[in-house]
């Protein structure tokens, strides 16, 4: 069965009512008819539901669909993308280990890497997404994991997953990929050798800006370690959020197709606009990593980035001129969203620190939604015209 069909058809539980849509199992624990059944449920390799910190029919259904979509062996659902990121580090790394991350990863991930992992004696170093020829030299005898995000945020660089898979296999280190921006519809890093995949389900997996959630999928023995860590430390996804997210996965394929076709339309229409220095979209031949993008992605995804000639002031004016697009810190919604990192999310950093992570003064990132493509384009064009 195709993974797209599985994302629609996998159903863990029905009650005696035989409802068509999976019900919500709002329960913190599960009961037993007798002491023998209860003892069996607690036996080691048993997968019965015991307590919703460990598993629940709703969280199981969501993660089973994610495992199918990513082509993974197993998975665990978490309360947020960040709890997925943190749990994957804490369960698999120990004091004295070394982790290599690409430098352009999600902001809170950088905080975890810089502030929390060193507290536990885990060494972290960074490599540049656009200089893979330098990565091998960063590997040390104690390197245990390479952590990547592709496309990168907010610069939309594309990292060659096949290269990363071969490099990590050669040196026997784990490849952990945050696949949030591409989603499994657009890119499945396991096929290129990734051992673990992280998701913020808060973004396109929900796709409607309603709930927080996260997922970790990958090799069975690694997921077992992560499961044991999560079972004891408690970053479990709530059954309600899992119920929402599992329903959302049924439409992920059709939504991503429209997100990507809208984004491609906008990217082509805006490239070369007189207010814009450069525009990046992975499936435009002008993208510096176009050849890698078409090798490993099924479409260019839902994000476009461009640099305004007007710099900081131009970016601020652009946001203020928008009539329809939302100004919000989130992305991956049915509603198109514009952000100007230099004057908003990254305003506290110095210009030099921003440039070190490729945030130019005029950088605008658009999370392209599902509105009619002409309405999104019109709003952006009128906002550009009045800068
Ligand atoms: C949002 C995001 C996260 C964190 O996810 P939360 O659900 O907000 O905790 C991690 N990685 C990427 C790429 C993200 O965009």
DSSP string, 342-368: GGTTTTTS-HHHHHHTT--TTEEEEE-
Closest residue CA from atom 11 of ligand 1: 106
Residue whose CB lies within 8 A of the most ligand 1 atoms, among 200, 215, 329, for a mutation test? 200
Establish whether residue 333 lines the binding site of ligand 1, counting it when its CB lies within 6 angstroms of any ligand atom: no
Q: Tokens 């020829």 correspond to what residue?
A: 133
Closest residue CA from atom 4 of ligand 1: 81
Which atom from ligand 1 is nearest to the alpha carbon of 332? 15
Establish whether residue 80 lines the binding site of ligand 1, counting it when its CB lies within 6 angstroms of any ligand atom: yes
Establish whether residue 214 lines the binding site of ligand 1, counting it when its CB lies within 6 angstroms of any ligand atom: yes
The 8 Å CB, 24+ separation contacts for 37-45 are: none
Rounded distance from Cα 20 to ligand 1 centre (Å): 32
Which atom from ligand 1 is nearest to the alpha carbon of 181? 13
Which distant-in-sequence residues (6+ apart) come within 8 Å of 15 by Cβ? Answer: 23
pLDDT at position 312: 95
Q: How distant, in Å, are the alpha carbons of 99, 183, 254, 274 from that of 299?
A: 30, 11, 13, 27
For residues 221-251, one letter each, b for 16 or more C-beta atoms within 10 angstroms of the residue's C-beta and e for the rest, the string is ebbeebbebbbeeebbbbbebbbbbbebbbe
The pTM (predicted TM-score) of the whole model is: 0.96
Rounded distance from Cα 88 to ligand 1 centre (Å): 14
In order, the DSSP letters of 61-77 are HHHHHHHHHHT-SEEEE
Give whichever of 30-39, 98-107, 190-199 has the largest mean pLDDT.
190-199
> What is the 8-class DSSP label of residue 51?
B
Q: Is the pLDDT of residue 37 over 80?
A: yes
Which atom from ligand 1 is nearest to the alpha carbon of 203? 1
Rounded distance from Cα 307 to ligand 1 centre (Å): 23
pLDDT at position 45: 64
- As a residue count, the chain comes to 387
Closest residue CA from atom 2 of ligand 1: 200
- Per DSSP, helices labelled H in the chain are 3-9, 35-41, 57-70, 81-92, 107-111, 135-138, 161-170, 183-186, 220-233, 239-249, 252-270, 290-296, 311-321, 351-356, 373-385
State pLDDT tens for residues 257-313: 999 999 999 999 999 999 999 999 999 999 999 999 999 999 999 999 999 999 999
> What is the 8-class DSSP label of residue 323?
S
State pLDDT tens for residues 145-179: 999 999 998 889 999 999 999 999 999 999 999 99
Pairwise CA distance, residues 335 & 367, whole Å: 8
Q: Where are the domains of the chain?
A: 3-249, 252-385
Rounded distance from Cα 32 to ligand 1 centre (Å): 38
Tokens of 150: 């592709």
Fold entry, domain 3-249:
3.40.640
Pairwise CA distance, residues 302 & 255, whole Å: 10
What sign results for the dihedral spanned by CA atoms 374, 376, 380, 386?
positive
Which atom from ligand 1 is nearest to the alpha carbon of 85? 10
Three-state SS for 287?
A: coil
Pairwise CA distance, residues 243 & 247, whole Å: 6
Which distant-in-sequence residues (6+ apart) come within 8 Å of 230 by Cβ? Answer: 76, 78, 87, 91, 236
Establish whether residue 60 lines the binding site of ligand 1, counting it when its CB lies within 6 angstroms of any ligand atom: no
Average pLDDT, the chain: 96
Fold entry, domain 252-385:
3.90.1150
Pairwise CA distance, residues 217 & 63, whole Å: 8
Over residues 309-329, the mean pLDDT reads: 96
pLDDT at position 348: 84
Residue 2 half-sphere exposure toward CB, CA atoms < 13 A: 7
């Amino acid at each position: 069965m195709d993974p797209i069909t599985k994302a629609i058809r996998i159903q863990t539980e029905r009650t005696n009512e035989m409802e068509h849509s999976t019900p919500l199992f709002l329960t913190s624990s599960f009961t037993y008819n007798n002491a023998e059944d209860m003892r069996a449920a607690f036996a080691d390799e048993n997968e019965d539901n015991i307590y919703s910190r460990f598993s629940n029919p709703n969280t199981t259904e969501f993660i089973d669909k994610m495992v199918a979509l990513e082509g993974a062996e197993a998975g665990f659902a978490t309360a947020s993308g960040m709890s997925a990121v943190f749990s994957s580090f804490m369960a698999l790394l120990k004091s004295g280990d070394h982790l290599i991350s690409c430098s352009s990863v999600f902001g809170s991930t950088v905080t975890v890497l810089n502030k929390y992992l060193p507290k536990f004696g885990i060494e972290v170093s960074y490599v540049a997404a656009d200089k893979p020829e330098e990565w091998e030299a960063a590997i040390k005898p104690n390197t245990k994991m390479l952590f990547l995000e592709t496309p990168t945020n907010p610069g939309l660089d594309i990292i060659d997953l096949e290269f990363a898979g071969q490099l990590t296999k050669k040196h026997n280190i784990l490849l952990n990929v945050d696949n949030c921006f591409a989603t499994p519809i657009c890119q499945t890093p396991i096929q290129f050798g990734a051992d673990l995949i992280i998701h913020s389900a808060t973004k396109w997996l929900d796709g409607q800006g309603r709930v927080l959630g996260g997922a970790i999928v990958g090799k069975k023995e690694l997921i077992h370690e992560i499961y044991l860590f999560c079972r004891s430390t408690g970053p479990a996804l709530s059954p309600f959020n899992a119920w929402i997210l599992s329903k959302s996965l049924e439409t992920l394929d059709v939504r991503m197709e429209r997100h990507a076709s809208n984004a491609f339309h906008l990217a082509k229409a805006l490239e070369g606009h007189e207010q814009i220095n450069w525009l990046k979209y992975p499936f435009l031949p002008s993208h510096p990593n176009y050849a890698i993008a078409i090798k490993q992605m099924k479409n260019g995804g839902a994000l476009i980035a461009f640099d305004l000639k007007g710099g900081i002031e131009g970016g601020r004016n652009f946001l203020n001129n928008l009539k329809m697009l939302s100004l919000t810190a989130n992305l991956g919604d049915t509603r198109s969203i514009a952000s100007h990192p230099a004057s908003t999310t990254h305003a506290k950093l110095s210009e030099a620190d921003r440039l070190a992570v490729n945030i130019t003064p005029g950088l605008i990132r658009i999370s392209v939604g599902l509105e009619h493509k002409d309405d999104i384009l019109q709003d952006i064009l009128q906002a550009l015209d009045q800068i």
